[in-house]
Amino acid sequence: LKAILLTHYHDDHINGVKGILKHIGVQVIGPNHQEVDFVDSVVSNQEELIIGPFSITAIGTPGHTHNHLCYLLTEFKVLFTGDMLFPCGCGRIIEGTYAEMLDSIKVLKALPKETYIFSGHEYSIENLNFALSIEPHRQELKDRIKDIESKDHYPVPTTIGLELELNPFFRTDDIDFRKALNLGSASELEMLIKLRELKEKQCSYE
């Protein structure tokens, strides 16, 4: 173990760090946070890290929190998203703003479609069912649920390409999707706010 990379400082993402540090000396890297005393190196948006043989780029993705980071292993096209992005979903806006979350989503949407996504939580079935509640006719969503439930495809990692196809929060600019919500003239920000409102009525912890 060479380093621990933290995406943000919610308890479910940092509770094990101090226990690890009791047994081994390892560098802890994460975004700026005044109340956390065990981070050795603070990183910010577009900062490059070299850890062993890996080149890793920190990507600022505020929204879930003000200082949330994702980490991209550029050579391998692997992205660790913490609570920013889940399969067919995104994190709740807790400390950040909807505008920040929308900007962060756009940053991730621009990554290569073949980029693998490793999220901090796995709610695929719940998220796909939410997407189906908006577009019950979409066979792609039904097929994805069937694949996961049959264990033919473990839902993590997903890819940017798959999220562009299935994730409601990646489709705020899709005209047909807006019509499905009766929000044909809404802005992308209004779409995101409405989607989060509907999602949190269905499930409060995602």
| CA 64 to mean position of chain CA atoms | 9
Total domains present in the chain: 1
Identify whether the C-beta of residue 129 lies closer than 8 Å to the C-beta of residue 89.
Answer: no
**Averaged pLDDT for residues 94-116:** 97
**Amino acid, single-letter form, for residue 183:** L
Query: What range defines the domain where residue 35 resides?
Result: 3-202
For residue 205, what pLDDT is reported? 58
The CATH number linked to 74 is 3.60.15.10
**Averaged pLDDT for residues 169-193:** 94
Q: Which of 130, 113, 110 is nearest to 206 (CA)?
A: 130
For residue 77, what pLDDT is reported? 97
| CA 67 to mean position of chain CA atoms | 14
Confidence bin at 127 (pLDDT 50/70/90): very high
| Beta-sheet strand order (sheet of 3-5) | 3-5, 27-30, 41-42
Confidence bin at 123 (pLDDT 50/70/90): very high
Identify whether the C-beta of residue 169 lies closer than 8 Å to the C-beta of residue 103.
Answer: no
**Averaged pLDDT for residues 16-43:** 89
What's this model's pTM, rounded to 2 decimal places? 0.93
CA dihedral 9, 14, 17, 19 (to 10 degrees): 130
Give buried/exposed letters for 162-191 (b at 16+ CB in 10 A, else e): bbebbbbbbbbeeeebbebbeeeeeebeeb
